[in-house]
């Protein structure tokens, strides 16, 4: 494997280097891939289709949509915004990976290596925040368009600083990025992103389910967990029957032991968990301490899959 070290980018071999996020590319994944490519060299790629928010961000910031990843001989891959096998695109082998930049915990099914790779994992609100910090520490000037997509990554993953995953460095870096991007009101930008994400009336139910869907393997149990963050939760609650039908198909197709879908109300900062069957109801009650009714469980104060929803499921399955 060619030399690659996040700490000494001037020495890196960047031929055939691409930066890639997880299978459901969101604003943090896309922004971080674009930012890493500008900082370290190489090109940004994506592993799936963009959701409505990220499509809005790409257009707003004036950047090209990264191309889909494809297998090429001698490719080197830097991963952003994830570290689990279950979220890795099929065209990437472990031997292709040269670096990881992430803000998620190393849980079940992490990507492992036969040789050391350069890794930067921090408990920050977004991978984009880590990239912004690396730009600042290296003294490399970033383009306004890259600042814009990195800002979007921070705003998206922190829900404009309202998510419990937000950390003290996220907002200061967001403010710096806004200045570079020429965005006078970052809160207005964040509101526009949320509005773009929320209107799912013209999106198929399957695409709603899979728009931000992640796979986990915990103690041999396969869990699929989708999330939709929206200002219009009633729009999705009205589609409960269709969501349950799509969840049935996805659970069977992926061989999942459990499947969940959370409708996160970003206005009230609460969630509605769609419960597929008795198995999910039993696990969710044990994890969250609430009961379900008519295939729904109300979860007050819960917004984050990363820091609230999945940790509770993991703790229950490993108890």
Assess whether 252 and 188 both reside in one domain: no
What element of type H or E holds 218?
Answer: strand 213-218
Residues 191 and 264 in one domain: no
Beta-carbon count within 10 A of 294 CB: 7
pLDDT one digit per residue (tens) for the chain, 319 residues: 567 999 998 889 899 999 999 999 999 999 999 999 999 999 999 999 999 999 999 999 999 999 999 988 889 999 999 999 999 999 999 999 999 999 998 987 899 998 899 999 999 999 999 999 999 999 999 999 999 999 999 999 999 999 999 999 999 999 999 999 999 999 999 999 999 999 898 999 999 999 999 999 999 999 999 999 999 999 999 999 999 999 999 999 999 999 999 999 999 999 999 999 999 999 999 999 999 999 999 999 999 999 999 999 999 999 9
- What total of structural domains would you count in the chain? 2
In a domain, 309, yes or no: yes
**Domain match, 159 and 251 both:** no
The CATH number of the domain where 257 resides is what? 3.10.310.20
Q: Tokens for 131?
A: 């990239």
| 124 and 230, same domain (yes or no) | no
62: in domain: yes
**Same domain as 293, residue 210:** yes
70 and 213, same domain (yes or no): no
Pick the last residue of a domain from 147, 163, 195: 195
**Containing structural domain, residue 314:** 205-318
pLDDT of residue 114: 87
Q: Would 225 be classed as within a structural domain?
A: yes
Whether residue 256 sits in one domain with residue 180: no
Alpha helix segments (H runs only) across the chain: 27-40, 52-61, 127-138, 144-157, 170-181, 186-198, 205-210, 233-237, 240-254, 278-288, 310-318
Q: What number of CA atoms fall less than 13 Å from residue 80's CA on the CB side?
A: 32
The residue with tokens 């494809």 is 70
Q: What is the DSSP letter of 229?
A: E
Evaluated on CA atoms 13, 15, 16, 20, the torsion sign reads positive
Position 2 scores a pLDDT of 64
Dist. CA 99–CA 119, nearest whole Å: 6
Please check whether residues 177 and 224 belong to one and the same domain: no
Tell me if 276 is assigned to some domain: yes
209 inside domain: yes
Contact call for residues 34 and 44 (beta carbons, < 8 A): yes
pLDDT attached to residue 154: 98
Asked if residue 301 is part of any domain, the answer here is: yes
pLDDT of residue 149: 98
Same domain for 182 and 287, yes or no, is: no
> At 221, which helix (H) or strand (E)?
strand 221-230
Domain end marker among 172, 195, 218: 195
> Residue 132: what pLDDT?
98
The pLDDT, as a whole number, for residue 117 is 93
Residues 292, 211 share a domain? yes
| Structure token pair of residue 70 | 């494809």
Query: What pLDDT does residue 167 have?
Result: 97
Domain CATH code at residue 33: 3.90.1640.10
Classify residue 1: in a domain, yes or no.
no
pTM of the model: 0.88
For residues 172 and 245, membership in a common domain is answered with no
Tokens 């090429």 label which residue?
72
Final residue belonging to a domain, choices 171, 195, 219? 195
Do 52 and 109 share a structural domain?
A: yes
């Amino acid at each position: 494997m060619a030399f690659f070290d996040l700490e000494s980018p001037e020495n890196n071999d960047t031929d055939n280097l691409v930066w890639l996020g997880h299978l459901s590319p969101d604003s943090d994944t896309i922004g971080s891939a674009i930012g890493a490519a500008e900082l370290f060299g190489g090109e940004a790629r994506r592993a799936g289709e963009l959701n409505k928010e990220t499509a809005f961000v790409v257009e707003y910031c004036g950047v090209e949509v990264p191309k889909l990843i494809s297998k090429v001989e001698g490719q080197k891959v830097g991963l952003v915004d994830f570290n689990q096998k279950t979220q890795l695109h099929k065209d990437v082998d472990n031997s292709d990976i040269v670096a990881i930049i992430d803000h998620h915990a190393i849980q079940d099914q992490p990507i492992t290596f036969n040789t050391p790779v350069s890794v930067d994992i921090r408990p920050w609100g977004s991978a984009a925040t880590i990239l912004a910090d690396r730009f600042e520490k290296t003294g490399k000037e970033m383009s306004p368009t890259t600042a814009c997509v990195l800002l979007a990554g921070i705003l998206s993953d922190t829900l404009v600083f309202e998510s419990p995953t937000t950390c003290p460095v996220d907002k200061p870096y967001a403010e710096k990025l806004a200045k570079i991007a020429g965005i006078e009101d970052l809160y207005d930008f964040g509101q526009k992103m949320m509005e773009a994400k929320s209107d799912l009336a013209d999106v198929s139910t399957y695409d709603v389910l899979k728009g931000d869907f992640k796979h986990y393997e915990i103690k041999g149990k396969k869990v699929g967990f989708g999330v939709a963050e929206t200002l219009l939760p009633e729009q999705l609650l009205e589609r409960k029957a269709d969501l349950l039908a799509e969840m049935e198909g996805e659970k069977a197709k992926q061989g999942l032991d459990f499947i969940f879908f959370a409708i996160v109300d970003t206005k009230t900062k609460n969630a509605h968990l769609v419960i597929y069957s008795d198995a999910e109801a039993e696990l969710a009650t044990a994890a969250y301490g609430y009961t379900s009714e008519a295939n729904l469980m109300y979860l007050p104060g819960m917004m984050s899959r990363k820091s609230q929803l999945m940790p509770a499921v993991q703790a229950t399955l490993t108890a």
